[in-house]
Amino acid sequence: MQIRGSKVLLTGASGGLGGAIARELARRGADLVITARSRATLEDLAAEIGAEVEVADLSDRSDVERLCGLLGDVDVLVANAGVGGEGGILGTPTEQIDFMVDVNLRAPMVMAGEFARRRVEADRSGQVVMVGSLSGVVATANTALYNGTKFGLRGFTLAIRQDLAPHGIGVSLVAPGFIDSAGMFAENGIELPKGVRTRSPGDVAAGVVKAIESNPAEVYVAPPELRLSAHVGGLAPALSEVIQRRMGVSEMTSER
Ligand SMILES: NC(=O)c1ccc[n+]([C@@H]2O[C@H](COP(=O)([O-])OP(=O)(O)OC[C@H]3O[C@@H](n4cnc5c(N)ncnc54)[C@H](OP(=O)(O)O)[C@@H]3O)[C@@H](O)[C@H]2O)c1
C-alpha cells in the first residue's frame, strides 16, 4: 500500500518507537492520527509533524470503542502501543494481568476487527501493522505476561492475515528485538549479555514502512544472530531454556 496520501492511525505514538514511526510516516507523506494517553507528548509531536491527536487509554473499553469510531476513513492501522515490565507471575496481581491483556492484546484485536469490517463494507483495501516482539516467538523467565500477550498477538496477526487476504486487506507483524536509545528496553537500563546486539527506533520505523508497502507476514527488527536464536527458541523451547540459563537471561529479565 502506498504511504503518501494514506491516512494512518498509530497507537502508542507518545512512546520511544511510536515517535520514530510517526516521524518516518509523516516524512513519507502519510496523514496521521496519533493516539496514546499522554496528551502533552502527542501535542508536541503533532506540532512537529502535523498530525491529528486523539487521547485514549487502551485499557478503557469505551476509549477503544471511541478509537474504533475513527477508523472509517483510515487506510492503515498501526497498533504499536504496548506495556511490559512485570516482575514474573508470582508477583503479578490480577489487575496487572487485565491491564496488560487489554493494552497489548484486546485493544489491537478489537481495533483490527473493526478496521477490517469497515474496509470490507466499503470495498476498500487496507493494511494492518501490529507491533509485536521477539518475545512473541521465544519465552523468557520473569516475562510471562509480556510473552503471553505478544505470542497471542502474533497468532492473531498471522490468522487474520489469512482471513483478510481475499478482501485485499494486508496484515503484517513487525517484531523488534532489543531497541537502543528510546523505548521501553532502552529506558529500563538492562545490560544485555555479551555479544547481543541492538537495533534502533529508526530500524523499527523502517520495518513498519516495509510492512505497509510490501505486506510481508513478519518483519523481524533484530540482528541475524538474535533472529536465529528466536527461531530456534520457538522451535525448541527446552533447548532455549538451557541456552538462556547459560547466558544468565533470567537475571537480566528480573532487573525489569
Ligand atoms: N523498545 C523495545 O526494545 C521493544 C522491543 C520489542 C517490542 N517492542 C514493542 O514496541 C511497541 C512500542 O514500545 P516502546 O518501546 O515504544 O515503548 P514505550 O516507549 O514504553 O511506549 C509505549 C507506548 O504505548 C502507549 N501506552 C501504554 N499504555 C497505554 C494505554 N493504557 N493506553 C494507550 N496507550 C498506552 C504509551 O503511551 P502513554 O503512556 O502516553 O499512554 C506509549 O506511547 C510495544 O508494543 C512494545 O511491546 C518494543
Best probe residue, ligand 1, of 9, 10, 14 (max atoms within 8 Å of C-beta): 14
146 in active site:
yes
213-230 tens-digit pLDDT? 999 999 999 999 999 989
50-76 tens-digit pLDDT? 999 999 999 999 999 999 999 999 999
Q: What is the pLDDT of residue 16?
A: 97
CA of 15 to the centre of ligand 1 (A): 5
Domain of 139 in residue numbering reads as 7-253
CA of 252 to the centre of ligand 1 (A): 20
Domain total of the chain: 1
Q: Where are the extended beta strands (E) located within 104-147?
A: 126-131
In a domain, 1, yes or no: no
Best probe residue, ligand 1, of 10, 109, 184, 208 (max atoms within 8 Å of C-beta): 184
Task: Name the band, by pLDDT with cuts 50, 70 and 90, for residue 255.
Answer: low
In a domain, 12, yes or no: yes
| Alpha-carbon distances of 193 from 89, 93, 142, 155, 213, rounded to whole Å | 23, 29, 16, 28, 34
Q: Does ligand 1 lie within 6 Å of residue 244's CB atom? A: no
In a domain, 63, yes or no: yes
| Alpha-carbon distances of 214 from 131, 149, 169, 209, 227, rounded to whole Å | 16, 26, 12, 8, 20
132-156 tens-digit pLDDT? 999 999 999 999 999 999 999 999 9
Q: Does ligand 1 lie within 6 Å of residue 136's CB atom? A: no
In a domain, 77, yes or no: yes
Looking at ligand 1, which atom is closest to the CA of residue 180?
A: 3
Q: What is the pLDDT of residue 254?
A: 76
User: Helix 94-101 to helix 144-164 angle, to the nearest 10 degrees?
Assistant: 30
Q: What is the pLDDT of residue 170?
A: 98
In a domain, 128, yes or no: yes
Q: What is the pLDDT of residue 153?
A: 98
Q: Does ligand 1 lie within 6 Å of residue 185's CB atom? A: yes
In a domain, 76, yes or no: yes
Calculate mean pLDDT across residues 126-136. Answer: 98
Q: What is the pLDDT of residue 86?
A: 77
Q: Does ligand 1 lie within 6 Å of residue 178's CB atom? A: yes
CATH number at 226 reads 3.40.50.720
In a domain, 2, yes or no: no
User: Given a cut of 80, is residue 252 above it in pLDDT?
Assistant: no
Spatial CA neighbour of 56 closest among 103, 22, 8? 103
In a domain, 221, yes or no: yes
Contacts 24+ apart (CB under 8 A), 27-34: 28/3, 28/4, 28/209, 29/3, 29/4, 29/5, 30/3, 30/4, 30/5, 30/6, 30/76, 31/5, 31/6, 31/7, 32/7, 32/8, 33/7, 33/8, 33/9, 33/70, 33/74, 34/10
